[in-house]
Amino acid sequence: MDKALLERIRARKWFYQFDLPDGTRTECYLPPGVEGVHTTRLAMLDEALARRFGPSLQGNTAVDLACHEGYFAFHLARRGASPVLGLDARPEHVADATMMAGAVGATAFSARVIDLEQAKAADIGTHDITLMLGLLYHLENPVRALRLARAVTRKALYLETQVVPHMTAMVDWGSYAFQRRMVGVFGIVDEIGEEHAPEAGVGGICLAPSIESLEWLLRKVGFASVERLVPPAGGYEQHVGEKRAMFAAYVD
Ligand SMILES: C[S@@+](CC[C@H](N)C(=O)[O-])C[C@H]1O[C@@H](n2cnc3c(N)ncnc32)[C@H](O)[C@@H]1O
């Protein structure tokens, strides 16, 4: 155990509560109660992974699109996935994730800086399991990001996002005589000027889908089956209240 490293880690607060090898836990900088957003997603991810892959992820590779400090990526590594690649636009998150991987012994993990609004599938490669948690609603091109997620996924994508109320309608399309069904919506959210915030998007213009729109899109970008994941009893209010949603999308 690297005592100096653990002291550096404990000297500050983190986005996640990491269990450290000396039995202590990092302090989370989120307001009390909000850290439930992580434990609820972890529970949903675990349940879905166990159903699809069984108790071990051995023999599977993984990528975490927007890995932040690596919490979910380390979890995949702990369950046997290897290698596990973490990607994030913020160099400071990649540095933190790399440091934390050293502390928690996530030797299968490595991380790199990339802007996922700009990245091509070839920059990322293909991976059996893809995570895209807490990213989609920070992007100005969410459909492009969903296509990217499909292109880099060999088996299963686990996606979680903030969502907005759903709406459908019949709309005029070129003339009142030509009508189309509007199948869903995105809400535009303004994060302009907040790009310095560690959890924000890097462009400031954010499009958040409705639950039904996201499910429709996941199928349209090429996932063979799509499953909405249910929050556990006592889960985080945003998941229970359908303000955030999580899906598993399978290639076959
Ligand atoms: C709300 S945090 C979610 C982190 C983690 N995936 C989770 O669910 O706990 C959003 C993350 O997306 C990253 N991010 C935002 N825009 C990005 C982009 N265009 N490309 C890559 N990462 C981005 C941020 O740096 C941050 O780590």
Per-residue pLDDT of the chain (252 residues), as tens digits, is 789 999 999 999 999 999 999 999 999 999 999 999 999 999 999 999 999 999 999 999 999 999 999 999 999 999 999 999 999 999 999 999 999 999 999 999 999 999 999 999 999 999 999 999 999 999 999 999 999 999 999 999 999 999 999 999 999 999 999 999 999 999 999 999 998 999 999 999 999 999 999 999 999 999 999 999 999 999 999 999 999 999 999 999
For the question of whether the overall pTM of this predicted structure is more than 0.95, the answer is yes
List CB contacts of 33: < 8 A, sequence separation 6 or more. none
Supply the CATH number for residue 153's domain: 3.40.50.150
Cross-strand partners of 172? 179
- Residue 48, in any domain of the structure: yes
- Please report whether residue 10 resides in a domain: no
User: Quick check: CB of 127 below 6 Å from ligand 1?
Assistant: no
Is 122 part of a structural domain of the chain?
yes
Residue nearest to atom 2 of ligand 1 (CA): 199
Has residue 6 been placed in a domain? Answer: no
Q: Count how many residues are written for the chain.
A: 252
From the CA of 118, give the closest atom in ligand 1: 19
Q: Is residue 5 part of a domain?
A: no
Compute the distance between CA of residue 108 and CA of residue 113 in angstroms, rounded to an integer: 17
Q: Is residue 22 part of a domain?
A: no
In a domain? residue 20: no
Could you tell me if residue 26 is inside a domain?
no
User: What total of structural domains would you count in the chain?
Assistant: 1
Q: Print the domain residue range for 213.
A: 35-250
**239 pocket-lining for ligand 1 (C-beta < 6 Å):** no
For residue 93, the SS3 value is: helix
